[in-house]
Amino acid sequence: MTAAATLPGPAAAPHTSLHRMVTTMRVHASNPWTILATPWLVLFAVFALNYAIWQLVKMAATGPLAPGAFTQNGGVSYVLVYMVVVAVQAMNQTFSFVVGLGATRRDYFLGTSLVFGALSLVFGAGISLLAWVERATDGWGIGGAFFAPWGLRTLPIWQLVVIYTSLLLLMFFGGSAVAALFVRWGANGIIAFFIGLALVIVATLYGITVTESWQAVGDFFTRNSAVVLAAYTLPISAAAGVLGWLLMRRATPKG
Amino acid sequence: MTAVIEVSGLTRHYGKVKAVQDVSFQVEEGSICGLLGRNGAGKTTVMRLITGQAFASAGNIRVFGENPVENAEVLARTCFVRESQIYPDSFRGKHVLRAAAHLFPNWDADYAARLVDEFRVPLDRRMKKMSRGQRSAVGVIVGLASRAELTLLDEPYAGLDAVARQLFYDHLLADYSENPRTIILSTHLIDEASKLLNHVLVVDGGELLIDAEAEDLRGTAVTLVGGHSAVEQFAAGRETLGWDSVGGISSVTLTGLSDADKAAALAAGLELAPVSLQQLIVSRTRGTIQPEEATS
């Protein structure tokens, strides 16, 4: 063994901030199943079940089915819920593990945000790719729409990428902000948040009613396409990300 | 000698609870320092403050001369392993070691693999399904194989069997002599660990009670056993840590005896028994003392 190896010092490895963020990403990937394999496997299982039910319905039906009978499906939203759980786990358990072992909160949060961004892109693009296959195969040969159901059926693929990626970002950063409330203030933080959220929603509804703006609100949602509405979630996700960081920078790892 | 850790006036309150109260000490480079005390004495909080995981209410901490809070340079040279470490639900033993390999710049993967064999850790088992001892073994492996310049081990062998504990002591000493570093060890098994320690910090009720070289501390107290009147006569006017009396035989534990004092005690017909580090600490943290078997 060399002297440098027996007397480890700060010069042993140049650790830049970028390097440390990448380290956090690799720690997340230490168990790639949770964030990469499991969500796809479950999504495929949900799809397989839906496909089987479509076939059942088709076999059982006595007459021709209404056009678009198999296009109203919410199975793909499972991925959104799954990613909320991933975000909550990241703020609770993974934070306590990684910061507990000596990473800074800053490097953890930035590295985790990069993981969230990368996962949003991977799943946003992946689901859109499957939607493209779905269209190319005439709805898996049965006129079904699973990966781009409802109004998404007719949108260009690139818009699907934007919509899914934006929604996933909202799930990740919204989920982590709420989880950060729990990390800092426990159940009371969550209760206060949802009471506050309910107040904000009621106040907004009240304001819209009093100012007789329901027409304008309705117009906003009909005038703007789905992809524009999805883009409107980006500043909300960014704000949730900043809020999450402000909370986590003073958080103490559990255990 | 340079101080790796310098702590002055360190205080941490949780609401009305004073977890750490005005604590000041230094830990020298290359020492194996025991951080001892009863449950809830503040040992873990002190370690969390040193590693920047908890925030001080008042006071000053310097680790490698810098404030450890959010200090990546300091934390990269530090490894903190604690019994109650949280692991992600989905993590198996192998995931923990993989993550540790990324987090610690001096990680020795071969050494970690050897330790896994010796401690018989089931790496494919989920952390939350492991027994307490197996989880502790994973922590011990991370603590040793990280080869961090400053390694803090908080109750590292809770639930480990006697063989595994001996393995830990042996590996700690062997690896310490090959790769010198500074180690802070908190434990309840004071007598077992006492031969490892060269410095001792004792906290009680959040306050620092003892800050001494282990060698000095061992010599400070002695138990005298003999006839009631002889013991009482000898102990008069001296600092006593504990009294015990059965029939006509009494024992008293005293501190601050010189060699001449000990000779005088022997001459007075009293038996001298050494006081172990554990007994000393028990008595100093307001317990009662049980004299060890008398040796004349």
**Strand B221-227 relative to strand B150-154, pairing:** unpaired
Give which of B4, B46, B49, B53 to mutate to test A binding, by max A Cβ within 10 Å. Answer: B53
Interface of A with B (CB under 8 A): 1, 6-10, 12-13, 15, 17, 20, 23, 26-27, 30-31, 33-34, 89, 93-94, 96-107, 249-250, 252-255
**Shortest CB distance from B53 goes to which of A13, A93, A100?**
A100
CA–CA separation, A48 vs A56, rounded Å?
Answer: 12
Which residues on chain A are in Cβ contact (under 8 Å) with B85?
A: 97, 100-101, 255
| Residue B27 and residue B199 in contact, taking contact as beta carbons nearer than 8 Å | yes
**Shortest CB distance from A33 goes to which of B90, B99, B179?**
B90
**Residue-wise DSSP of A67-109:** TTTT----GGGHHHHHHHHHHHHIIIIIHHHHHHTT--HHHHH
Could you give phi then psi for residue B62, rounded to 5 degrees? -125, 125
Residue B179 distance to chain A (closest CA, Å): 5
ipTM of this model? 0.85
Q: Where in chain B is the domain with CATH 3.30.70?
A: 217-284
What is B217-284's CATH number?
A: 3.30.70
CB-CB under 8 Å, B142 with A101: yes
Q: Is B111 on the interface with A (CB under 8 A)?
A: no
CA–CA separation, A123 vs A36, rounded Å?
Answer: 9
- Residues B73, B79, B85, B86: is their CA dihedral positive or negative? positive
Residue A116 distance to chain B (closest CA, Å): 17
CA–CA separation, A245 vs A251, rounded Å?
Answer: 10
Report the share of chain A in percent with pLDDT over 70: 94
CB-CB under 8 Å, B54 with A252: yes
Find the DSSP H helices in B30-159: 43-50, 72-76, 93-103, 109-119, 132-145
- Residues A14, A18, A24, A29: is their CA dihedral positive or negative? negative
Confidence band for A251, pLDDT divided at 50, 70 and 90: very high
> What's residue A5's pLDDT?
40
pLDDT in tens, B199-244: 999 999 899 999 999 888 877 788 889 888 888 888 888 878 878 8
pLDDT at A174 over 90: yes
pLDDT at A254 over 60: yes
> What's residue B264's pLDDT?
87
Cα angle: A125, vertex A170, A182; to 5 degrees: 135
Residue B115 distance to chain A (closest CA, Å): 19
- A108-112, B85-89, B172-176, B253-257: which range is least confident on average? B253-257
Residue A126 in tokens? 């992946």
CA–CA separation, A92 vs A249, rounded Å?
Answer: 14
By the 10 Å C-beta count (0-12 exposed, 13-18 middle, 19+ buried), A4 is classed as exposed
Q: Where in chain B is the domain with CATH 3.40.50.300?
A: 3-205
- B25-39, B133-147, B152-166, B205-219: which range is least confident on average? B205-219
Which residues on chain A are in Cβ contact (under 8 Å) with B100?
A: 101
Please name every residue paired with A235 in a beta bridge, in sequence order, or none if there are none: none
| Residue B224 and residue B272 in contact, taking contact as beta carbons nearer than 8 Å | yes
The more confidently predicted of residues B260 and B295 is: B260
Which residues on chain B are in Cβ contact (under 8 Å) with A105?
A: 70
Residues A117-145 have a mean pLDDT of 95
Instruction: Give the pTM.
Output: 0.86
Residues B250-259 have a mean pLDDT of 83
CA–CA separation, A73 vs B172, rounded Å?
Answer: 59
The residue of chain A nearest to residue B103, with distances taken between CA atoms, is A23
| Residue B265 and residue B177 in contact, taking contact as beta carbons nearer than 8 Å | no
pLDDT in tens, B47-85: 999 999 999 999 999 999 999 999 999 999 999 999 889
State in words which class domain B3-205 has.
alpha beta
Which residues on chain B are in Cβ contact (under 8 Å) with A252?
A: 48, 53-55
CB-CB under 8 Å, B85 with A102: no
**Residue-wise DSSP of A13-42:** S---HHHHHHHHHHHHTTSHIIIIIHHHHH
pLDDT at A66 over 90: no
**Shortest CB distance from A97 goes to which of B87, B106, B147?**
B87
CA distances from B118 to B113, B114, B164, B170 (A): 9, 6, 8, 12
Residue A178 in tokens? 């709420």
| Residue B12 and residue B20 in contact, taking contact as beta carbons nearer than 8 Å | yes
Report the share of chain A in percent with pLDDT over 90: 74
Beta-carbon contacts of residue A53 (< 8 Å; ≥ 6 apart): none
> What's residue A15's pLDDT?
60
Q: Is B256 on the interface with A (CB under 8 A)?
A: no
**Cα–chain-centroid distance for residue A41?**
17
> What's residue B228's pLDDT?
87
Show which of residues 128-147 on chain B sit within 8 Å of chain A, judged by CB atoms: 142, 147
